[in-house]
Structure 1
Amino acid sequence: MPGVIRQYVKIVDTINRRLGRLVMYLIFVMVGILLWSSISKTFFLPSLWTLEMAQFAMVAYYMLGGPYSIQLGSNVRMDLFYGDWSDRKKAWFDAFTVFLLIFYLGVLLYGGWESTSYSLQYGERSSTAWRPILWPIKITMCLSIFLMILQAISEFFKDVARIRGVEI
């Protein structure tokens, strides 16, 4: 494989691995928010922001963890036939189906970008009592989808290398 492709795979994998390892700790932020929600509802006045903030933390957790999940191969796949195939046949199948993933993520990114630009332009807020601005979580979603596209391209390059009998 050319050096540019090797460098691309190395950079994208490093970024997504580090970000994924960092984002893993958002689960504790979410638990802390929900714990505060329980405490405040029991002993004080209920907080308006806790449920929606926990949802935002969960969206960031799942979406920013997506590229790392793709990198680890922990995404869901149907192993009815796939599990019995050789590594080379799996690489052929993965190299083909990654284009479907990239198309899907591209459509998601297009829609997310349109929604984010609308949110930024008009100062969109949630319709709840707390009324937080929505553009930060929408930008987070667009960034994570973009990183998933980069990781999917990286996985494609790894599959092509595997087909050729080389590891990146």
Structure 2
Amino acid sequence: MSSDTIRAAATDNTGDQFPRAFYAVIRAIDRFTDVTGKLIAMTMLFLVVTISYEVVMRYGFGAPTIWVYESSFMANGAAFMLGAAYALLKGAHVRTDIYWENYSERKKGVVDLISYLAFFYPAMITFMLISIDDAWHSYDTGERSQESVWRVIMWPFRATIPLAALLLMIQGISEVLKCWYQIRFGREFVHKEKIEI
């Protein structure tokens, strides 16, 4: 989201506004998520390079690698998990409510706010606590992959799960504040384009 959009939201003439800190928090979190999402997307370049290397080595020189398979599925899995907060920022998660389009903007804000507080945060906290324990156990035991003879250590891959939950919860703070804005003023804080699948 551009800072001009947030500045416009903060300075429009709709009566009582939220404090400047309200908008600053949204701006800081959204910027953080945007930057981390774009950095995580760079993982795809790693996948393109390593898989291309594997294809050339395997079919061009008859010398397949032992590390590309595992590194590619771990990089792809990590990017999928860590990119979830960026998808939340962009409104790319699937919404299955068939009545959603008929709701007023205030009602959408109320439904989203209740969903974040009653479902999203409890699920993310549980997800994070369980996965931290799993990642710590992997680190503590020196767990190694059984997928290939490379036998790569597993704890960095397992650590992406609690990190993904943390990134989602951070972006969730911004989304909760946007719901609050939507409830108070009866309009979206920033319009998110529908993503057709």
TM-score normalised over the length of structure 1: 0.90
1:9 aligns with 2:26: yes
Residue 151 (structure 1) aligned with residue 154 (structure 2)? no
Equivalent residue of 2:98, what SS?
helix
Gaps of 5+ in 2: 1-17, 191-197
- The alpha carbon displacement at 1:156 in A equals 0.9
Task: Say which is worse superposed, 23-32 or 3-12, in terms of deviation.
Answer: 3-12
What pairs up with 1:15-54 in 2 under 5 angstroms? 15-42=32-59, 43-54=61-72
User: 2:174 is aligned with what amino acid?
Assistant: S
The 5 Å alignment of 1:8-157 reads 8-42=25-59, 43-99=61-117, 100-128=119-147, 129-157=149-177
CA distance in 1, matches of 2:127, 2:107: 29
The structure with more helix, counted as a fraction of residues:
1
Distance across 2 between alignment mates of 1:2 and 1:139 = 37
Larger radius of gyration: 2
Q: Which has the higher contact order (CA 8 A, sep 6+)?
A: 1
Q: Could you tell me how far 1:79 is from its partner in structure 2?
A: 4.3
- Say how many residue pairs are matched: 168
Identity of aligned residues (%): 26
How high is the TM-score relative to the length of structure 2? 0.78
Superposed structure 1 runs of 4+ greater than 6 Å apart:
none
SS in 2 for 1:164: helix
Once the two structures are overlaid, the 10-residue window that deviates more, 83-92 or 50-59, is 83-92
| Separation of aligned partners in 1, 2:120 and 2:49 | 34
